[in-house]
Amino acid sequence: MRTIFDPTTGADVSSTVRSFLQSGGTLVSSYLYSFACFNFWDDNPFGNYASFCFTDAEVSLYLKYAQLTPNGASQLGCWGGSPATLYPTGLTFIADRITHDKLSYGIGFEDKPVEITWAMDASRLYSAAMYNTSLSAPYYSAISNASYPVGLTLKQALVMGVFTEAPFWIHSALFTDFPRLGGEFLGTALMFRGFIRKTTSTQSVLKISLASLMDVFQSIQVPTQTLTPNNR
């Protein structure tokens, strides 16, 4: 069973979820999708990052903590200030029509890519979470602020390859019932961690191909043994 972390405190709640299941409870799950990049569309002299966060849940979800690395839950927040600083504001994952193909796993250095299918709304401004130090509050900035091309959309930027190699995370969000019915948000589990490899577009959907972290070993020869000038 994967480690499950409380979205508010970051505590390990795996045993609580296990007890809920063993007592006959049934979980309702959704997925969280997020990626981060350098903010290239605003005046950004201090190198702040922007976070794009979405979910396939029926409502938007707010999280303070989630697992981003192998070292447990991380504080989520927005970047801003001079120097660039992560403010512990938490992040809101916006509900949208986004899904992915089956997740599969292997051992060793085997790469298990994932494909995201996103039915983006052409009339909607997809914004990234940032932090305004003057107002001491988070805000959302759309990449349409870019000076060129005028009116740049997130879909156009993805297809242009602007976000290639950007880190990408997929989490599973677990509830005791559907959120609209008052289900309790039990926690999240990290399901995939990798980066954007390529993006293709059709008239109706955007497809994002993700490579796992193991992809780096596909182009690097790993020796079976290393010879050194000392005793073996």
pLDDT digits (tens, 9 = 90+) for 88-139: 999 999 999 999 998 887 776 667 789 999 999 888 889 999 999 989 999 9
Q: Give the structural domain span for 54.
A: 14-216
User: What is residue 159's predicted lDDT score, i.e. its pLDDT?
Assistant: 94
Euclidean distance between CA atoms 126 and 167, whole angstroms: 18
User: What is residue 35's predicted lDDT score, i.e. its pLDDT?
Assistant: 97
Using DSSP's 3-state secondary structure scheme, residue 155 falls into helix
The candidate with the shortest Cα–Cα distance to 128, out of 115, 114, 116, 145, is 145
**Which amino acid does the sequence have at 13?**
V
User: What is residue 124's predicted lDDT score, i.e. its pLDDT?
Assistant: 87
User: What is residue 223's predicted lDDT score, i.e. its pLDDT?
Assistant: 62
User: What is residue 17's predicted lDDT score, i.e. its pLDDT?
Assistant: 95
Euclidean distance between CA atoms 209 and 201, whole angstroms: 11
Residue spans of the chain under pLDDT 50? none
The answer to whether residue 110 is domain-embedded is yes
The answer to whether residue 188 is domain-embedded is yes
The answer to whether residue 9 is domain-embedded is no
The answer to whether residue 3 is domain-embedded is no
The answer to whether residue 25 is domain-embedded is yes
User: What is residue 1's predicted lDDT score, i.e. its pLDDT?
Assistant: 64
b vs e for 64-88, b when ≥16 Cβ sit within 10 Å of the residue's Cβ? bbbbbeeeebeebbbbbeeebebbe
The answer to whether residue 227 is domain-embedded is no
User: What is residue 231's predicted lDDT score, i.e. its pLDDT?
Assistant: 59
The answer to whether residue 223 is domain-embedded is no
The answer to whether residue 125 is domain-embedded is yes
User: What is residue 56's predicted lDDT score, i.e. its pLDDT?
Assistant: 96
What number of helices (H) and strands (E) belong to the chain?
2, 15
Please tell me the total count of domains within the chain: 1
